[in-house]
A and B are shown apart, each in its own frame.
Chain A
Amino acid sequence: MTSLRSKSQMRGVALAVAAFGAAFVGQARAVDKVLTMAVPGNAALDNLDPRVLLSTSHQAVQMAIFDSLLRSKGTDVAPAAAEKWEISPDGKTYTFHLRDAKWSDGKPVTGQDFVDAFVRMFTTSGASSIYDAIQNGAEVRGKKADASTLGVKAPDDKTLVFTLTSPTPYFLGLLTSSYSAPSRADLIAKEGDTYGTSAQSMAYNGPFTLTEWSNQDKLVLKKNPNYWDAANIKLDEVDFLVLPDPSTQRNLFDNGELDVYTPQTEKEAKGYEAKGQLLRFNKGGLRDITLNHLGQGDATKAKLLSDPNFMKWISYTVDRQGFVDKVLEGNGIAATVQTPSATTVYPGTTWGQVTPNIGKYHPLTADLAKAEEYKAKALADMGVTSVDQLPPLGLLTSEDPQNPKLVTPYVFSVLTQMGLKVTLNQQTGNQFWNTLLAPALGYDLAIAGWGPDYDDPYTYMQYWQTSSTDMGTTFNNANYDKLLQQANNETDLKKRAQILAQAEALFSDIGTSIPLLHYKGEAALQPSVKNMLTSSFGVWLNYIWVDIQK
């Protein structure tokens, strides 16, 4: 009895010593590297299944917890779940060789997981049309073809083959999005509607795993030690906080409780720049005035809004450069075509080096003499003698995070200076989309725009095709459609660029969009945050390889 007690006492002492030792070692070890950020978009994410919701805010988390086939690394496309790949000479077959990888629950990642992901994307996800180059993709979405006919096949566990209907030079870029992350059919079947709504409902194969998620409050991502590239992942933990108010984010950032903050105004950005905390980058994206060629069913309005002379009258009255310099204080790039100049059109060449259309159809600064010419033509086209005889028009606008607060008053002032009768229609949340998009198309003029899905001019051009109704586009032109089709089938990338430039010229001349500006990106970072990469499409801030050095 006595010996037993002394034994247990001994063990107690040993445990205490061990615990003390462990605590000591723990203290000596480097502090965990934690990056704390606000959930992008300033709202909770609700569902992280890439096949349910895929905004850039969702992708910002999805890119860390799922490993897509490829990954964008700065301006490069880097291998991720796929180790290497081959493209057939006709550019229509892509064969990917997958790495040995495991899901966070121990199951191996297989080619079939990727096939399941693409089938699910075409059947459940709204935005799947950007992948319509995949054979039978659109047909599967429209339930006109069986899922088994989709041009994504896994001949074995380690191979994945895509069959495309046309050579698609930007296809690798498309595969960097979370859409190309594998999916778990078994978990989806088990969880049903709640798959993707909690940390436990999903399995992960990315550089991080989601360990804690209280939807409206916080997400905690921990480093995945089994990730194939774990040696190059420096962060131990990434915390995403739900912080709906940008001023709260700024206050937390200034207090050192947040590592990244997106300044709300150029003045704020300059303040952080002076402290050496600002990162500026090329963000892509377009803000424009969209015209409704259908005029909401009103024949007079339709005639006016689809008159290229009317479109150019507005365009030549707009002082893009002046607006960007004076109002935005340089936080933007005046745009005279829709595709930003920095967009890659083929390796080593940007759109700005290829397109002859910059400044040709829309001027950089206001040209009031030309505007008068177009005004006279537009009035003549309408058979009227004065601006007062034109129908009153509505200007639809939203509370978009891309800050049209400054754009809307400027555009409104331009339109009223022209003598047009314009009423402002500002809408919030989903109501804006409900009014802008088909079937409503409830606008005459709208402050709209586009964010790129991949680094190629095609992302800025595809939605004007007759078949597309995205962004409430009412441009229906067979020649334009033909040019895009031609570009899609062209394997010579230089020729393709020329065709795209022709399409751009056609659209700029008679289309539905008056380009205003392209975005510049900026983010304030704490000095300890190193190696934050940026991208001109998708998720702008790539924190995967970030290191914290205090």
Chain B
Amino acid sequence: MLRYILRRLAIAAIAIFVLATVTFFLMHLVPGDPFAGPRVAPEIRAALRAYYGLDKPLLQQYLIYMLNLLRGDLGLSLASRGHEVTSIIATAFPVSLDLGVRAMIISIAFGLAFGIIAALNRGTTLDYLTVALVLIGISVPSFVLAGLMQYYLGVYFRILPVARYETFWHTIMPAFALSLGTMATIARYMRSSMLEIVNADYIKTAFAKGLRPHQVVLRHQVRNALFPVLTILGPAVASVLTGSFVVETVFAIPGLGRYFVTAMQNLDYTLVMGLTIFFGAFLIGMNFLVDVAYGLIDPRVRIS
């Protein structure tokens, strides 16, 4: 197991190195200057470029960046003047994480429940209703849902706070808006994988043994159906936990999601790099956890 983990870590390090290198050069291929703007005197722009080392040859910039990266130094943001990339991530990520965890709990709980209910009631109204809900969940963009919820629950009926991230009540709407897409995906996977194994030999055996239906469903069917769902959970968790541009913008939540868009718009090279590396590492970490979780659910993985 230890050798397995070490190998995975080595692969992760290489993946992040490749990711950083490709992003670095791709980003610098985008034409333009991060310090461009109206009323910026050319001398000042040149001075700023020199200060942030952008006047050096690209290869030299790359080497400096990579050496700094090894020391854990992601540099100063170019657009958020005076703010370090690490401190931006350290301030914003916990907020996104908090929201993401809430959203993930909602997605998993409701997603699995919907999937199981639909599968067990296959072909009935309940099934179609769930499938319709799932379809809506996947196809309605979060900004539409977020905007509608904000207006009706926040302004019209005044049940929940309109925006910002302060108390538990503030977290409900954004967490729900963020969870919907993942919830629908989980429900869909759960339903189809439940149905796939409904005729499997071990299910028949379980019934033959004389187990009650709920015992068969919980111990055998659900447990085995979780597998494919677990596979999609890694990337889903990574993307939900690192924040959403739309949900964070609509609900004015000071999370990481906003930066993914604005950093590139501002040509904030250091922040783009920092976010890419952070997200890459997080994604790899999540996939690793999923692999470990496989072992917990499926004894065959542990043995091999």
> Which residues of A pack against B, CB within 8 Å?
43-44, 46-47, 49, 52-53, 123-130, 141-143, 193-197, 214-217, 241-245, 247-248, 251-252, 254-255, 257, 428-431, 433-435, 437-438, 440, 469-471
Asked whether A470 lies within 8 Å of B39 as measured between CB atoms, the reply is: yes
B32 at the interface (CB under 8 A from A): yes
CA distance A244 to B259 in the complex (A): 12
Which one of B31, B34, B262 contacts A440 once the chains associate, using CB atoms below 8 Å?
B31
Q: Are A47 and B249 CB-contacts (below 8 A) given A248-B163, A433-B37?
A: no
CA distance A125 to B76 in the complex (A): 18
B187 at the interface (CB under 8 A from A): no
B221 partner residues in chain A, CB cutoff 8 A: none
Which one of A197, A214, A245 contacts B83 once the chains associate, using CB atoms below 8 Å?
A197
Asked whether B254 lies within 8 Å of A248 as measured between CB atoms, the reply is: no
Q: Which of B120-165 contact A (CB under 8 A)?
A: 147, 150-151, 154-155, 158, 162-165
Asked whether A46 lies within 8 Å of B39 as measured between CB atoms, the reply is: no
B41 at the interface (CB under 8 A from A): yes
CA distance A105 to B63 in the complex (A): 43
Which one of A196, A216, A434, A469 contacts B31 once the chains associate, using CB atoms below 8 Å?
A434
What residue of chain B has the Cβ atom nearest to residue A244's Cβ?
B249
**In the complex, the 6 A-B pairs of residues with the closest C-beta atoms, listed nearest first:** A429-B265, A434-B32, A126-B40, A216-B254, A127-B39, A197-B82
Binary flags per residue of B15-38, CB closer than 8 Å to A gives 1, else 0: 000000000000000011111111
Shortest Cβ distance from residue A85 to the other chain B in the assembled complex, whole angstroms:
26
Which one of B44, B150, B164 contacts A141 once the chains associate, using CB atoms below 8 Å?
B44
B79 partner residues in chain A, CB cutoff 8 A: 46, 430
CA distance A103 to B115 in the complex (A): 63
Asked whether B41 lies within 8 Å of A431 as measured between CB atoms, the reply is: no
B252 at the interface (CB under 8 A from A): yes
Which one of A194, A245, A470 contacts B82 once the chains associate, using CB atoms below 8 Å?
A194
Asked whether B44 lies within 8 Å of A46 as measured between CB atoms, the reply is: no
B258 at the interface (CB under 8 A from A): yes
Asked whether A241 lies within 8 Å of B254 as measured between CB atoms, the reply is: no
Asked whether A252 lies within 8 Å of B40 as measured between CB atoms, the reply is: no
What residue of chain A has the Cβ atom nearest to residue B143's Cβ?
A245
Which one of B42, B81, B162 contacts A248 once the chains associate, using CB atoms below 8 Å?
B162
Shortest Cβ distance from residue B243 to the other chain A in the assembled complex, whole angstroms:
11
Binary flags per residue of B254-268, CB closer than 8 Å to A gives 1, else 0: 110010001011110
Asked whether B32 lies within 8 Å of A126 as measured between CB atoms, the reply is: no
Asked whether B81 lies within 8 Å of A46 as measured between CB atoms, the reply is: yes
Q: Are A193 and B44 CB-contacts (below 8 A) given A241-B252, A430-B32, A430-B267?
A: no
B68 at the interface (CB under 8 A from A): no
B65 at the interface (CB under 8 A from A): no
Could you list 30 examples of A-B contacts with CB < 8 Å?
A46-B81, A47-B80, A47-B83, A52-B81, A126-B39, A126-B40, A126-B41, A142-B43, A195-B82, A216-B91, A216-B255, A217-B164, A217-B252, A242-B254, A243-B163, A244-B252, A245-B252, A248-B163, A251-B150, A251-B154, A255-B155, A255-B162, A430-B32, A430-B34, A430-B36, A433-B37, A434-B32, A435-B32, A437-B40, A440-B32
B236 partner residues in chain A, CB cutoff 8 A: none
> Which residues of B pack against A, CB within 8 Å?
31-45, 47, 76, 79-83, 91-92, 147, 150-151, 154-155, 158, 162-165, 249-252, 254-255, 258, 262, 264-267
Asked whether B155 lies within 8 Å of A46 as measured between CB atoms, the reply is: no
What residue of chain B has the Cβ atom nearest to residue A127's Cβ?
B39
Shortest Cβ distance from residue A268 to the other chain B in the assembled complex, whole angstroms:
14
B254 partner residues in chain A, CB cutoff 8 A: 214-217, 242
B47 partner residues in chain A, CB cutoff 8 A: 123-124
Asked whether A248 lies within 8 Å of B155 as measured between CB atoms, the reply is: no
CA distance A141 to B44 in the complex (A): 7
User: Which of A125, A215, A217, A471 gathers most chain B CB within 10 Å?
Assistant: A217
| Additional A-B contact list (11), CB under 8 Å, known A126-B45, A431-B265 | A52-B82, A127-B39, A141-B44, A243-B252, A248-B162, A428-B265, A429-B262, A429-B267, A437-B40, A470-B38, A471-B38
A44 partner residues in chain B, CB cutoff 8 A: 80
Shortest Cβ distance from residue B157 to the other chain A in the assembled complex, whole angstroms:
11
Asked whether A247 lies within 8 Å of B32 as measured between CB atoms, the reply is: no
A130 partner residues in chain B, CB cutoff 8 A: 39
What residue of chain A has the Cβ atom nearest to residue B39's Cβ?
A127
Asked whether A245 lies within 8 Å of B249 as measured between CB atoms, the reply is: yes
What residue of chain B has the Cβ atom nearest to residue A144's Cβ?
B43
CA distance A194 to B252 in the complex (A): 25
What residue of chain B has the Cβ atom nearest to residue A46's Cβ?
B80
CA distance A47 to B79 in the complex (A): 10
B35 partner residues in chain A, CB cutoff 8 A: 126
Shortest Cβ distance from residue B22 to the other chain A in the assembled complex, whole angstroms:
21
Shortest Cβ distance from residue A524 to the other chain B in the assembled complex, whole angstroms:
15
Asked whether B267 lies within 8 Å of A143 as measured between CB atoms, the reply is: no
A195 partner residues in chain B, CB cutoff 8 A: 82
